[in-house]
Structure 1
Amino acid sequence: MSNRDWSKFTVRINIRARRSDLYDAWTTKAGMEYWFLRSCEFVDAKGYILDEEETIRAGCTYTFFWHGYTDEVFEKGEILEANGQDRIVFRFGKAGICTVRILMAGDEQIVEIEQAEIPTDEHSQFQYHVGCKTGWTFYLTNLKSLFEGGIDLRNRDINLQDMLNS
């Protein structure tokens, strides 16, 4: 295991959906709350809070809150890039830089997230490499589930702790 690169990982999933819909799922408050977050706030560089359907851009900051956790559990970060079509890059708190790509493969889209620049100390290996990879695997599965079948797999019960789906 000593040859493992703990500083990054990539998770991918195929989804039958329009690219523009998948891009909106990552770049609007409404989109992020549909498949990923309990609550989300995007603020532009001038301090303006973006509306539900307003698309993020480089320089925006965010605050993320998840189902299954209290408001004391949140993440703050910055949008580094949002190209309007198929690529979003954001700083994911202390856990590194996330790059989301939406790629075409046949008649399906591939949603790929690479998390890089993860600190490599022992705590970060578990918390950010293993923990985030597990989380992204679930949330990409939920994205696919919602887009292809309409079923939301997230745990919304704050009393159920240590669940894969929250």
Structure 2
Amino acid sequence: MEERKKLDWSRFTVNLPLDVQKEDIINAWMTQEALEKWFLKLAEFTTPNGEKRKRQEQIKPGDAYRWQWFGWPETVEEHGKLLNPEQGEFLRFQFGKAGKVGVSIVQEHGQTILRLIQENIPQDEESRMNFYVGCKTGWTFYMLNLKSILQNGPDLRNKRSELQMD
């Protein structure tokens, strides 16, 4: 029987192959307007001096964010800060209490792959379920929605407020 590697609950990776230009993938993450097309209901960013970024203005390390999702009450928000990207990343941020997220584009076997790594996930049982399982499931869905949007497909998000998540 094959030996199984012990699961590292402190981090996960989601890879998504995409057949679109690298610049289009990066641009989908870099403004409030772009993030609201595939990911968030609200993606507000504030500069380190406290000025709210314009909807089409590029976000930068040091910015603080306030995010809301479709399907959740407006009281459910995530707050965090954009960090300096590490090697190969085009975006990195503190994802509330759920750890840090780095986003990059890699080429493997001639394929463009969007890679998201969430790390520094707390190790208590509740965090394993909420952040490892919950966030990995969420990122998988939203990245597939990004692929659908970039390839001129439908927006897969539930935008009907009467159909709440739990």
TM over 0.5: yes
For residues 87-122 of structure 1, what are the alpha-carbon distances to aligned partners after superposition, in whole Å with 9 as ceiling and x for unaligned? 211000000000000223466531110000000100
Distance in 1 between residues matched to 2:32 and 2:112, nearest whole Å: 22
Q: Offset at 1:162? A: 3.4
Task: Tell me which residue corresponds to 2:67.
Answer: 64
Aligned length in residues:
162
Query: Unaligned regions of 5+ residues in structure 2, if any?
Result: none
8 Å contact kept, 1:86–1:103: no
- Indicate the SS of the match to 2:28: helix
Q: Which moved more, 1:33-42 or 1:152-161?
A: 152-161
> Which one-letter code corresponds to 1:61 in the other structure?
A
Pairing partner for 2:121 from 102, 118, 125: 118
8 Å contact kept, 1:17–1:108: no
8 Å contact kept, 1:43–1:61: yes
Q: Does 1:10 align with 2:8?
A: no
Q: Which moved more, 1:145-154 or 1:92-101?
A: 145-154
| Structure ID, larger Rg | 2
Task: Tell me which residue corresponds to 2:83.
Answer: 80
8 Å contact kept, 1:59–1:80: yes
8 Å contact kept, 2:81–2:93: yes
Residues 107 and 22 of structure 1, relative CA distance in 2, 3 Å threshold: same
1:1-166 superposed matches below 5 A = 3-82=6-85, 87-105=90-108, 108-162=111-165
> Which one-letter code corresponds to 2:154 in the other structure?
I
Query: Alignment RMSD, CA only?
Result: 2.0
Query: Unaligned regions of 5+ residues in structure 1, if any?
Result: none
Distance in 1 between residues matched to 2:162 and 2:82, nearest whole Å: 32
Percent identity, please: 39
Distance in 1 between residues matched to 2:130 and 2:121, nearest whole Å: 10
Distance in 1 between residues matched to 2:94 and 2:19, nearest whole Å: 28
8 Å contact kept, 1:19–1:86: no
- Indicate the SS of the match to 2:140: helix
Distance in 2 between residues matched to 1:154 and 1:143, nearest whole Å: 10
- TM-score, structure 2 length as denominator? 0.90
Distance in 2 between residues matched to 1:61 and 1:82, nearest whole Å: 15
Residues 107 and 30 of structure 1, relative CA distance in 2, 3 Å threshold: farther
Distance in 2 between residues matched to 1:96 and 1:116, nearest whole Å: 6
